Amino acid sequence: MLKVAVAPRGTRDWICEAVHAGGGQLVEPADAEALVWTDAAHGPGPQPGPAGLLKTLEDNPQIKWVQLPWAGVEPYAAAGVFDGDHLWTCGKGVYAKPVAEHALALALAGLRDLKRFATASEWGAQAGISLAGGRVTIFGGGGIATELIALLTPFRCDITVVRRHPRPMEGVARVFGYEARYEALRGADLVVIACALTAETTGLISSVELELMAPHAWLVNVARGPHVVTGDLVVGLREDVIGGAALDVTNPEPLPPGHPLWELPNCLITPHTANTEDMAMPLLSDRITENVRRYAAGEPLLGMVDARLGY
């Protein structure tokens, strides 16, 4: 039976239950072959984060596989946690369906000008853009992009994907590398950011990219706040360089009260809620259970992290 530690202390009971469901035996880190590491978001005191994980692995060199619960693991990459001595897996792909659903909801709300209508106190002028037959550019070619492409099928959109390794994708008219991102932005009615945060994609959308977008286009970000240069976005929205932005993530995050983005009529913000804990619980449980089963059986694991790329 695979011996698995779940740490740090205070981790939710359902994560331990997921390990059991996969056939794992829960043990202390000193006796473990594998580690499910998750900061206890509601636990007492400061959370240990990357430093705590590094210390746990240093103290327990017999651990060979580490499962992280998040899809985005950039704080761990930045801290130099990932190495070639361990197998690393994360929540990559686990949350794709709810996040893609939220991206579509934000896109439709933005294009249909729902923030202005929802906050109005009197009858106003008509406004709105139909997504049907529209041109959509998606940054990222992973699980969220794949699910979003499927959701866009009834709209018969012309879809362009920009990703690190271009290759044909079902339902996509064209796939570009990041070096061709300017071409991908021109003429798009909707631009969705759904890629990993790396050095290459930090500051992906600045004033230059906003100027390339159509004046009516909406930007949707369901990935990470630093993909967008916030100051440039504020200026672009104030000057109507693009139609608007719908953001589930921001930089800084949380977005402080009084920040200009809150007051802009063409900016719609949700508080990083594309994937809630209630949505995540069954999805992550299934991933942990399946990976515990796979590791014990010597099968390939799901959601592998590339230690070189950091995602």
Catalytic residues: 224, 253, 272
User: Phi and psi at residue 198, in whole multiples of 5°?
Assistant: -135, 180
Please answer whether residues 134 and 144 qualify as being in contact, where contact means their C-beta atoms are separated by less than 8 angstroms.
no
In whole angstroms, what is the distance from residue 183 CA to residue 172 CA?
15
Q: CA dihedral defined by 162, 284, 270, 202, rounded to 10 degrees? A: -40
Please answer whether residues 63 and 86 qualify as being in contact, where contact means their C-beta atoms are separated by less than 8 angstroms.
yes
Which residues, listed in sequence order, are joined to residue 161 by a DSSP beta bridge? 138, 175
Decide: residue 116, CB within 10 A, 0-12 exposed, 13-18 middle, 19+ buried: middle
